[in-house]
Amino acid sequence: MLWRASNTHRNRETAMPTNRRFLLKRRPHGEPVPEDFELASEAIPEAPAGGLVVRNHFASLDPAQRGWMDDAPSYMPPIALGDPVRATTVGRVHASDNPDFAVGDWVMGLNALEDYSQVMPGGFTSPIDVSLTDSPSKFLSAMGAVGLTGYFGLLEVAKPQPGEVLLVSGAAGAVGSVVGQIGKIAGCRTIGIAGGPEKCRRLIDDYGYDVAIDYKGKDVATLAAEIRAAAPEGVNIIFENVGGDVMDAELLNLAKHARIVLCGLISEYNAPEKVGVRNLWQVLTQQATIHGYLIMDYAPRFAEAGKVMAQWMQDGRLRIDEDLQEGLENAFPAFMRLFSGANTGKLVLKIA
């Protein structure tokens, strides 16, 4: 990672507040390395006509950002080289040329890993009521895209019925921990797959899973046998965050007409060659369905679902853990926690 020395130097001289921006400098090949990025320091922008400048306080770090760094067909354009890494942020209005937003208002929106974001009219930015929660960061976890990804993915895509078996991979992660808990609220028997004994302990103790399975060091056949032992009649719903060997083992345990919510494939985001799944054949024989799932279609219902999530948190039925990392200067190591298996709970970068 390189700092723009000239800017840094100038800013030291003038002591002007600056806008630090975490730029994508080149497209990562496989696992990102520090040299793929650059922390630049620029002048704070002015509000565009009809728009805003937002002072970012918290930014969401998500596996999806890795996909946006590739120049590949996706649901969003790739991040342009030289642009800051796109991120959902929560912050306060710093400057406004829009009558709907006053300076100081809390907002969330699709911005970037930077101190200040210029927000054009007509974007995704919306006001948030921070009084609903103990921290504005909750709008990036429970009540943000990640928590609501679990909410809509399970309740609206999989449509769980009481008594069904729900299998979640990446079960201790930001989405997985929410899915398991909502699965219990919906009356399912829940099986979580995670890496290592500590995460498996959390599945049981913190997120109420009925069964925890540690995938580490196990081949597909061994993992498949452990799932079978936990669900001899097969699983009705798979909430997939991982892919690869884990998903192959899961697919060997489908109940007839199983529904698979394909929410993420984190095991292969950094793989130069995609792995996919080998046991697709089981989807056919069990007449299962794989639903490629992104939360965007549910955006009009975020406020409604956020209130339900806030209520569940107040009632003690939903526990949300955040992995709060601090400082834009730590953006790279913080982001890499997603792939090392280091983080538990929703990864958030505190910017200010």
User: Which residue, 230 or 334, has its beta carbon nearer to a second copy?
Assistant: 230
275 belongs to the binding site for a second copy (CB under 8 A): yes
In whole angstroms, give the CA distance from residue 212 to residue 290.
23
CB 346 within 8 Å of CB 140: yes
Q: Which of 13, 134, 273, 315 binds a second copy (CB under 8 A)?
A: 273
Range 104-125 burial, b when 16+ CB lie within 10 A, else e:
eebbbbbbbbbbbbbbeeeeeb
Q: Which of 17, 30, 187, 292 binds a second copy (CB under 8 A)?
A: 292
Give the pairing of strands 254-262 and 235-240. parallel
In whole angstroms, give the CA distance from residue 234 to residue 223.
14
Q: Smallest distance from the beta carbon of 119 to a second copy, in angstroms?
A: 25
Choices 160-168, 185-193, 275-283, 324-332; region in contact with a second copy by CB under 8 A: 275-283
User: Which residue, 283 or 324, has its beta carbon nearer to a second copy?
Assistant: 283
Token digits of residue 124:
């995704």
Token digits of residue 214:
């540690």
Choices 100-108, 114-122, 263-271, 341-349; region in contact with a second copy by CB under 8 A: 263-271
Give the pairing of strands 289-292 and 254-262. parallel
CB 142 within 8 Å of CB 56: no
User: Which residue, 124 or 329, has its beta carbon nearer to a second copy?
Assistant: 124
User: Which residue, 214 or 245, has its beta carbon nearer to a second copy?
Assistant: 245
232 belongs to the binding site for a second copy (CB under 8 A): no
Q: Which of 12, 43, 75, 342 binds a second copy (CB under 8 A)?
A: 75
Q: Which of 53, 252, 305, 338 binds a second copy (CB under 8 A)?
A: 252
Q: Which of 1, 130, 283, 310 binds a second copy (CB under 8 A)?
A: 283
Token digits of residue 341:
């298996």
What are the distances in angstroms from CA 262 to CA 23, 66, 193, 239, 292?
Answer: 30, 17, 15, 7, 5
293 belongs to the binding site for a second copy (CB under 8 A): yes
CB 191 within 8 Å of CB 211: yes
Q: Which of 71, 100, 204, 281 binds a second copy (CB under 8 A)?
A: 281
In whole angstroms, give the CA distance from residue 287 to residue 303.
35
The radius of gyration computed from the CA coordinates of the chain, to the nearest angstrom, equals 21
Tokens 């498996």 belong to residue: 200
264 belongs to the binding site for a second copy (CB under 8 A): yes
Q: Which of 128, 238, 265, 305 binds a second copy (CB under 8 A)?
A: 265
Q: Which of 294, 308, 310, 324 binds a second copy (CB under 8 A)?
A: 294
Choices 177-185, 191-199, 280-288, 321-329; region in contact with a second copy by CB under 8 A: 280-288
Q: Smallest distance from the beta carbon of 224 to a second copy, in angstroms?
A: 10
333 belongs to the binding site for a second copy (CB under 8 A): no
- Phi, psi for residue 157 in degrees, rounded to 5: -90, -50
Residues forming contacts to a second copy in the complex (CB under 8 A) are 67, 73-75, 243, 248, 252, 256, 262-265, 268, 273-294, 297
